[in-house]
A and B are shown apart, each in its own frame.
Chain A
Amino acid sequence: MVEAVLVIGGGIAGVQASLDLAKAGAKVYLVEKSPVIGGRMAALDKNFPTMDCSICIEAPKLSEVMQNKNIKVLTLAEVVEVRGEAGNFHVKVVQKPRYVTDECTRCGDCVPVCPVILKNEFDVGMGARKAIYLPFDQAEPGTYVIDIENCLNKPPNYLPCNRCVEACGPKCIDFEMREKIHELNVGAIIVAAGSDLFDASLIPEFSYGRHPDILTAMELERLLQSSGPSRGEVIRPSNDKHPERVAFILCVGARDKRFYGFCSRVCCMYSIKEALQLVDHGIKDVTIFYMDIRAYGKGFDEMFERAKRSGVRFVRSRPGRVIPNGDGIDVLYEDTTSGELRKETFDMVVLSTALVPSEELSRLARTLGIEVGEDGFIKSYEIDGDFVGTSRKGIYVCGCASGPKDIPDSVTEAGAAAAKALTHLTSRSVEPEVFEETIDASGEPRVGVFICHCGSNIAGVVDIKTAVEQSKRLPYVVHVEDQKFSCSGAGTKHIENVIREKRLNRVVVAACSPKTHSPTFMRACARAGLNPYLLEMANIRNLNSWVHKNQPVDATRKALDLISMAVAKAVLQNPMTKLSTPVLQKALVIGGGVAGMTAATALAEMGFETHLVEKEHELGGLLRYFREIAPSGLDAQRLLQWKIRQLERSGAKVHLGTEVTEVTGFVGNYHVTLSNGEELDVGAIILATGGKAHEPSWPKIETDRPKVATLLRYETDGIPEDARDIVFIGCVGSRNMSRGCSRYCCQTIIYHALKLRRDGKNVSVVVKDVRTYSRGAEELYRKACEEGVRFIRVGAEKPIEELVQIGDGGITVRDITIGETLNIPADYVILATALDPPGEIAAAQQLRVAKDSEGFFLELHPKLGPVESITQGVFLAGVAQGPKDIRESISQGLAAAAKAAALLTSPQLEKEPLIPVINLQKCTKCMRCAQVCPYGAIRGELRKWIEIIPGLCQGCGACVAECNVEGAITMPGFTDEQLMAQIDAALAENPEEKAIVFACNWCSYAGADLAGILKIQYPPTCRVIRTMCSARVSQKLILHAFEKGAGAVFVTGCWPQDCHYNYANLNTKRRYEQRWLKIIQARGIDPKRLQLHWISAAEAKRFAEKMTEAHEVVMSLKKEKMQVSG
Chain B
Amino acid sequence: MYQSLLELFNDREAAESITACFQCGACTAACPLNVFNGPKLSPRQFIRRLQLGLPVNIDPYLCMMCRACESVCPRNVKVTKLIQELRKIWFKNNRTPTPLTQALWKIYEDGNPWGYPSRTRGQWLDKLDSNIVKKRSDTLLYIGCVSSYDIRLQRISTAIAKLLLKAGVDFTVLGDEERCCGDPVYHAGETDFLEELVSENMAKFNSLGIRRIVALSPHCYTMFRDIYPRYGGDYEVLHYTEYLAELIDTGKLSIDARLEARVTYHDPCYLGRYSKIYEQPRRLIESVKGLSFSEMSLSKELSLCCGGGGGRILMESKPEERPSNIRVKQAVETGAEILITSCPYCIINFEDSAKVQKTPLKIMDVAELLQAAAGGQDG
Chain A positions near chain B (C-beta within 8 angstroms): 204-205, 210, 251, 255-258, 291, 317-321, 323-324, 332-336, 339, 341, 770, 782, 785-791, 793, 815, 817-818, 820, 822
Asked whether B42 is an interface residue with its Cβ less than 8 Å from the other chain, the reply is yes
Once the chains bind, are A788 and B52 in contact (CB under 8 Å)? no
Q: Give the docked Cα–Cα distance between A822 and B25 (Å).
A: 21
Chain B positions near chain A (C-beta within 8 angstroms):
9, 15-16, 19-31, 34, 40, 42, 44-45, 48-49, 51-52, 54, 68-69, 71-76, 297-298, 300-302
Q: Which of A785, A788, A820 contacts B75 (CB 8 A)?
A: A785
- On whether the beta carbons of B52 and A332 are closer than 8 Å, the reply is no
Once A341-B40, A782-B75 are accepted as A-B contacts, the answer to whether A318 and B25 lie under 8 Å apart by CB is yes
Residue of A251, A320, A770, A815 touching B25 (CB-CB under 8 A): A320
- Report B145 CB to chain A, min CB distance, Å: 32
User: Inside 8 A of A318's CB, which chain B residues have their CB?
Assistant: 24-26, 29, 72, 74
Which chain A positions have C-beta within 8 A of B74? Answer: 251, 255-258, 318
Query: Do A341 and B72 have beta carbons less than 8 Å apart?
Result: no
Q: Are A317 and B302 in contact (CB under 8 A)?
A: no
CB–CB B29/A341 < 8 A: yes
Task: Determine if B45 and A818 form an interchain contact, defined as CB atoms under 8 angstroms apart.
Answer: yes
Would you call B28 and A320 a contact (CB within 8 A)?
Answer: yes
Please report the C-alpha to C-alpha distance between residue A97 and residue B44 in the assembled complex, in whole angstroms.
56
Residues of A within 8 A of B297 (CB): 210, 323-324
In the complex, how many angstroms separate the beta carbon of B272 from the nearest chain A beta carbon?
Answer: 11
Which 5 A-B pairs have CB atoms at the shortest separation, nearest pair first? A320-B29, A320-B30, A334-B25, A318-B24, A334-B28
Q: In whole Å, how far is B184's beta carbon from the nearest beta carbon of chain A?
A: 28
- Which residue of chain B lies nearest to A317 when distances are taken between CB atoms in the complex? B25
- Could you say which residues of chain A place their CB within 8 Å of the CB of B24? 291, 317-318, 336
Partner of B20, one of A205, A256, A782: A782
A832→B71 CA distance, assembly (Å):
36
Q: How far is the CB of B48 from chain A (nearest CB, A)?
A: 5
**From residue A256, how far is it (CB to closest CB) to chain B in Å?**
4
Docked pose: A318 CA to B25 CA in angstroms: 6
Interface core residue of B21, B22, B34, B68 (most chain A CB under 10 Å): B22
Q: Is the CB of B45 within 8 A of A339?
A: yes
Q: Nearest residue in B to A822 (C-beta to C-beta)?
A: B52
Q: How far is the CA of A339 from the CA of B40 in the complex (A)?
A: 11
Of residues B21, B27, B44, which shows the largest number of chain A Cβ atoms within 10 Å of its Cβ?
Answer: B44
CA distance A324 to B51 in the complex (A): 35
Contacts of B300 in A (CB 8 A): 204
Q: Is the CB of A785 within 8 A of B72?
A: no
User: For B20, what are the chain A residues with a Cβ–Cβ distance below 8 Å?
Assistant: 782, 785-786
Task: State whether A785 and B25 are in contact (beta carbons under 8 Å apart), knowing that A204-B302, A258-B76, A336-B44 are contacts in the complex.
Answer: no
CA–CA, A339 and B34, complex, Å = 12
**How far apart sit A318 and B68, CA to CA, in the bound complex (Å)?**
14
Whether B40 pairs with A319 at a CB distance below 8 angstroms is: no
Q: With A334-B44, A336-B23, A339-B42 given, can you name 6 additional A-B contacts, CB distance below 8 Å?
A: A320-B25, A320-B68, A333-B25, A791-B22, A818-B48, A822-B52
Contact of A319 among B26, B68, B301 (CB under 8 A): B26
How distant is A375 from chain B, measured CB to nearest CB, in Å? 15
* A479 to B: closest C-beta gap in Å: 71
Which single residue of chain B is at the shortest CB-CB distance from A820?
A: B54
Q: In the complex the two chains form, what is the Cα distance from A330 to B44 in whole Å?
A: 21
Q: How far is the CB of B135 from chain A (nearest CB, A)?
A: 42
B77 to chain A, nearest CB (A): 9
Assess the A320–B27 pair: CB atoms within 8 A: yes
A-B contact pairs, 26 of them (CB 8 A): A204-B300, A205-B71, A251-B74, A255-B74, A257-B75, A257-B76, A258-B74, A318-B29, A320-B29, A323-B298, A334-B44, A339-B45, A341-B28, A341-B42, A782-B22, A785-B75, A786-B16, A786-B20, A787-B19, A788-B15, A790-B51, A815-B52, A817-B23, A817-B44, A818-B45, A820-B52
Shortest Cβ distance from B75 into A: residue:
A257
> Contacting B54 at CB < 8 Å: which of A256, A291, A818?
A818
Chain B minimum-CB-distance residue to A318: B24
Q: Report the separation of the CA atoms of residues A291 and B73 in the bound assembly, to the nearest whole angstrom.
A: 13
> Could you tell me if A320 and B72 are in contact, using CB atoms closer than 8 angstroms?
yes
CA gap between A79 and B147 in the complex, in Å: 63
Whether the pair A817, B30 counts as a contact (CB closer than 8 A) is no
Using Cβ atoms and an 8 Å threshold, which residues of chain B touch A820?
Answer: 52, 54
Bound-state Cα–Cα, A256 to B25, Å: 13
Assess whether B51 is in contact with A332, with CB atoms less than 8 Å apart: no
A870 to chain B, nearest CB (A): 41
Closest B residue to A251 using CB positions:
B74
A333 contact from B29, B69, B71, B301, Cβ within 8 A = B29
Please give the distance in Å from A352's CB to the nearest CB on chain B: 14
**CB proximity of A983 to chain B, nearest CB, Å:** 63
* CB neighbours of A787 from chain B (8 A): 19
Q: Are B52 and A334 in contact (CB under 8 A)?
A: no
Q: How far is the CA of A255 from the CA of B26 in the complex (A)?
A: 13
B29-A334 in contact (CB<8A): yes
A793 to B52, CA, bound (A): 12
Query: Measured between C-beta atoms, what is the minimum distance from A409 to chain B in Å?
Result: 24
CB distance from A497 to the nearest CB of B (A): 68
Cα distance, A320 to B16, chains bound together (Å): 21
Nearest-Cβ distance from residue B313 to partner chain A, whole angstroms: 24
Among B19, B23, B40, B54, the one with the most A-chain Cβ atoms within 10 Å of its Cβ is: B23
A321 pairs with B29, CB closer than 8 A: yes
Given contacts A320-B30, A341-B42, contact A788 B22 (CB under 8 A): no
